[in-house]
Structure 1
Amino acid sequence: MINRNVGALRSGPSYWLVLVSGFFEPMLYLLSIGVGVGALVGDLRLPGGRVVEYAVFVAPAMLAVSAMSGALSETTFNFFFKMRYAKTFDAVLATPVKPFEIALGELAWAMVRSSVYTGAFLVVMVVLGLTRVWWALAAFPAALLVGLAFGGAGMAISTLMRGRQDFDMLTTGQFALFLFSGTFSPVHEYPPVMEVVVELTPLYHAVELVRALAIGEPGWGLLGHGGYLLVMTAAGLGFAARRIERTLCE
């Protein structure tokens, strides 16, 4: 599956434009809100008592968003198109390849795209002085785990889609996660009920994991965030494989 996607990448410049555009959206948010609005907000006190610049607070969240966006871009509409319209998976299943291997291959390709986004974003963070090199290296695998989790979830959701119009709901949900997962303000500042709801969402755990490593405040609580994302990865991958088998093999 990866070789096939690499071939599509080489086929023309349009795919490269889509690939690059996905990186610039969180970057623009970082520069406009993290840096621009941050100049008005000033410093921010974290729950542990540490005071950081607002841009330092926002940047790791945008890194997590970048990883999420890169993975979802490949495992939602692209995945759905290959399964429902291009009949790519039907052709692959005519070979000895199994449904789980298709799902695994698509997730691996999504991670290629997600790693490009996160790697480039981390370089920008280091250049802007928003993190140090060694903490950037620690945050990179965490961002890859974020991509795995959302890639698995994206494939699972795509197998349930009835048509292209259903992706409007997915876009709305993704944007809601983007706004209300502790990306632009600490979650403890939300109303109590909303705080509980936010802490159940996947992007919250992604942001908390990446942020703690990027700003240099690791702790045992990161195991919970990482465990959440690992379970999400396994559940999404397994569900997608079963749905591919049920839809295309029965």
Structure 2
Amino acid sequence: MLENLKNRAPDTAVPSVVPRWGGAHFLVFRNLRVHAGGNPWTMAMYSIFEPILYLLAIGVGIGQLVGDVEGVKVTYAAFVAPGLLATAVMNSALHETMEGAFVKFTHDRFYQSILFTPVSLTGIVVGEVAWAVLRGFVTAMGFLLVITVFGLISWSDALVAAAATLLVAFAFGAAGLAVATRIRAWSDFQYVQLVLLPMFLFATTFYPVTVYPRPVQVAVELLPLYHAIQLLRGCALGEIDSGLIVSVVYLLVMGALGLVVARRQWARVMLH
């Protein structure tokens, strides 16, 4: 099998920094049909229930106890909503490129089989990340629909935030696919949660970064979820300024590096 894969195409055998996208769209179409029977709105319906529960429990329930947050010009629910949106998009993208990739490679042997088709190794990587972006976007649409109906953001701001979620999903989807090659068993996902849970709690999801002393602020500002939240919060609340450029660049670089590393890692795992 190894010799067949190496002789099939140079793109499959030798990692390249500037990849070719051959066959990526086939993988996206396949994932769409398998996941929702070809209907993306089914995924959106699944995504509506989680934000409702979060907003009722935290944004509305706890928000009544918290009151106004110092330095924040909106209600607590409106402040928390973009943070929960960023977290939902992150989790959706990571689920597809980590758990999904782990199952396809380890249990289904799907990737090993698809390399005998016109889909190249680069096509697998790009296709999986593109699918993660689509999955994160559909999740975001369901979430944004809920918080817009609740009156937490305007319809125009929701459209801007929806576009920004594509970048968030791209960054985490690419990073997740790169990390997936290090997963050897289901128990390894516990280590992933050890990273995600503290990041969710401390990356300004529920309060502004100014509550921390300056040394802690610097550490928080290095977290990828922090920049995802800053970008979506700025878009959702109509506070778009030059400060968001840092978050945009951060997420773009994160996604680009994730793609390159994922391409090299999956070549190592499947071809050696």
Fold conserved between structures, TM > 0.5: yes
Return the letter of the residue paired with 1:235. L
State the 1:85 CA deviation.
2.1
Paired position in structure 2 for 1:237: 259
Structure 2 CA distance, aligned partners of 1:230 and 1:212? 17
State the percentage of identical aligned residues: 43
Deviation string 1:24-58 (CA, Å, 9 cap, x unpaired) is 34442222111111112222243xxx521101100
Structure 1 CA distance, aligned partners of 2:188 and 2:48? 24
Structure 1 CA distance, aligned partners of 2:183 and 2:176? 11
Paired position in structure 2 for 1:134: 156
Q: 1:193 to 1:26 in 2, by over 3 A?
A: farther
Structure 2 CA distance, aligned partners of 1:74 and 1:27? 22
Greater mean deviation of Cα atoms: 28-37 or 194-203? 28-37
Query: Does residue 185 of structure 1 match 2:181?
Result: no
Paired position in structure 2 for 1:116: 138
Deviation string 1:79-105 (CA, Å, 9 cap, x unpaired) is 111122211111111223222210110
SS of 2:184 mapped into structure 1: coil
Q: 1:85 to 1:73 in 2, by over 3 A?
A: same
State the 1:78 CA deviation.
0.9
Query: Does residue 92 of structure 1 match 2:117?
Result: no
Q: How many corresponding residue pairs?
A: 243
State the 1:20 CA deviation.
5.8
Deviation string 1:196-236 (CA, Å, 9 cap, x unpaired) is 11110000000001001101111001111001000111111
Deviation string 1:95-154 (CA, Å, 9 cap, x unpaired) is 232222101101111122111110011111111111011111111111121111111111
Unaligned runs of 5+ in 1: none
Paired position in structure 1 for 2:64: 39
Unaligned runs of 5+ in 2: 1-26
Structure 2 CA distance, aligned partners of 1:106 and 1:2? 7
For the 8 Å contact 2:48–2:146, the answer to whether it is kept is no
The alignment's TM-score, normalised by the length of structure 1, stands at 0.91
For the 8 Å contact 2:93–2:173, the answer to whether it is kept is yes
Structure 2 CA distance, aligned partners of 1:71 and 1:6? 14
State the 1:158 CA deviation.
0.6
The alignment's TM-score, normalised by the length of structure 2, stands at 0.84
Structure 2 CA distance, aligned partners of 1:136 and 1:81? 34
Equivalent positions of 1:1-250 (< 5 A) are 1-10=27-36, 24-46=49-71, 51-250=73-272
SS of 1:43 mapped into structure 2: coil
State the 1:171 CA deviation.
1.8
For the 8 Å contact 1:99–1:242, the answer to whether it is kept is no
Return the letter of the residue paired with 2:31. N
**Root-mean-square deviation (Å):** 1.9
